[in-house]
C-alpha cells in the first residue's frame, strides 16, 4: 500500500467526529477502505493504525469531493442505500 501525502493526511489524525453526516461519511469511508484493502490482497493486521487512518482519510476526502460535486442529496441517498 503506497502512502502518499503523509504530511497532508496526518493533520486529520485524532480529530473528533461531530455531526451525524460526518459520522455517516466516516463510516462509509471505513467500509470503502476495508474493501480497498481486501481487493489489494493486503492483510489488514499488517497495517499500522496510522496507515489505516491515512487510508480512511483518503476515502473521506473522495466522499467529501463527491458531496461538493454531486450535491448533498445524492450522497445522502447513497449513504442510506449503502450496505
Query: What's the CA gap between 80 and 82, in Å, rounded?
Result: 6
Cβ contact 59:53 at 8 Å: no
* Distance (Å, whole) CA 46 – CA 66: 30
Cα separation, 21 vs 47, in Å, equals 27
**Stated pTM of the model:** 0.62
What pLDDT digit, counting tens, does each position of 11-54 carry?
455 555 457 777 888 888 999 999 999 999 998 888 899 999 99
Amino acid at each position: 500500500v503506497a502512502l502518499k501525502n503523509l504530511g497532508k493526511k496526518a493533520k486529520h489524525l485524532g480529530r473528533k467526529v461531530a455531526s451525524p453526516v460526518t459520522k455517516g461519511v466516516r463510516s462509509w469511508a471505513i467500509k470503502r477502505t476495508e474493501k480497498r484493502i481486501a481487493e489489494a490482497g493486503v492483510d489488514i493486521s499488517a497495517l499500522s493504525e496510522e496507515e489505516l487512518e491515512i487510508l480512511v482519510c483518503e476515502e473521506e476526502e473522495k466522499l467529501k469531493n463527491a458531496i461538493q460535486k454531486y450535491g448533498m442529496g445524492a450522497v445522502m441517498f447513497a449513504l442510506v442505500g449503502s450496505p
